[in-house]
Structure 1
Amino acid sequence: MESVLSRTPEPLRSALIKHRELLKFGIVGGTTFVVDNGVWYLLKLGVLESKPTTAKAIAIIVATIVSYILNREWSFRTRGGRERHHEAALFFVISGLAVVVNLIPLYLSRYAFHLETPFVERWIQETADFISGSIIGMLLAMVFRFWGFKKWVFPDELGERRRDNNRS
């Protein structure tokens, strides 16, 4: 990451450094996006063809486990201070709530707007699933997760103490 930043021109470099956690969170999000959709489509087009919401929930859980590891060890590695089991519990509670946030648009698409076969053609169903489940739902959940992770899971307790000491 540092070598990429050193080759980035100003003022973009300053912005990236200032928002380093958000950038790393975004990269982790991109990685888990691929994991999520890969697992979802494997399940949805295979053993869980008639249960797309269940397939999406399983995919989100797998991606969430990957997300915890990457966020803990990379995105927010300088934050926290809680015991690992407490931190993990909070992470999975926030992520569990984010699963619900993520599934709402897909659920509405399929069961409120009936964007599923036999009401629409298969390509419309798949496009609606992708847009509602992987774009809209994931973006809403991402905003919720970033806020929740920074506030409760990986709080900047050390940073707050340092700022308080400097004010004295």
Structure 2
Amino acid sequence: MSDKNRVLTRLLRFIGVGGFCFVVTLVVNYGLKFTVLEQHPTTAFIIANCVATIVSFILTRQYTFQHQNSAFRKRVQAIGFFSVSLIGIGINSAPLYVSRWILGFHYPQVSFLSQEIADFISGPIIGTLLAMIFRWWALHKFVFPDSENNASTDDAQELVLVSKA
């Protein structure tokens, strides 16, 4: 498979995983927001993103970047993935925070319907789009780099492991 096809396939899988995790985020977010965290919509959104991040790690590692899964790199990938995701959660939540608490799109300043529309556009739409672009770049660049780019590093690590045995 050519490099362009491989990257395109990976990108389409990444978007599919992201779409599924988007649904997970919405379900958890609205479940919390309309029950136990009514007064804390940003907290509900952050928790929803954390749950979706765990689901995303499993799916991304096993489906999107399965060819970059050497046993040696599992811990490094997990630490890198969750570091990138932590930054992504901040990027994802920032537009909701700005909409609610800086621009004042919250009840009673605006109607409940306007508040919910502003929340949906700022968090799940704008925030997710910005975070997804960042995550794609960072995961592709740092966490799951192409194996061709790291062939010399992997060969050196194998030599060290073999020489220790």
Fold agreement, TM-score > 0.5: yes
- Unaligned stretches of 5+ residues in structure 1: 1-14, 163-168
Per-residue deviation, 1:16: 6.5
Cα distance in 1 for partners of 2:90, 2:110 equals 25
TM-score (norm 1): 0.83
Q: Could you list the per-position Cα deviations for residues 13-60 of structure 1 after superposition, in whole angstroms to 9, with x for gaps in the alignment?
A: xx8765000000000000000000100000001100000000000000
Q: Deviations over 1:39-89 (max 9, x none)?
A: 000000110000000000000000000000000000010125352122101
In 2, Cα distance between the equivalents of 1:160 and 1:72? 17
Native 8 Å contact 1:109 1:115 kept in 2: yes
CA distance in 1, matches of 2:109, 2:78: 42
The offset of 1:161, in angstroms, is: 3.4
> What fraction of aligned residue pairs are identical, expressed as a percent?
45
Confirm or deny that 1:148 pairs with 2:138.
Answer: yes
Unaligned regions of 5+ residues in structure 2, if any?
A: 153-165
Is structure 2 residue 152 aligned with structure 1 residue 157?
no
Where do 1:14-163 residues align within 5 Å? 19-81=8-70, 82-158=72-148, 161=151
CA distance, structure 2, for counterparts of residue 16 and residue 60 of structure 1 = 30
Q: Distance in 1 between matches of 2:38 and 2:85?
A: 25
CA distance in 2, matches of 1:151, 1:113: 35
Q: Normalising by structure 2, report the TM-score.
A: 0.85
Summarize the Cα distance change of 1:80–1:148 in structure 2 as closer, same or farther, 3 Å threshold.
Answer: farther
C-alpha RMSD of the superposition? 1.7
CA distance in 2, matches of 1:22, 1:33: 16
Number of aligned positions between the proteins: 148
8 Å Cα contact 1:79/1:155 also seen in 2? yes
Q: Supply the distance in 2 between the matched residues of 1:75 and 1:18 (Cα, whole angstroms).
A: 10
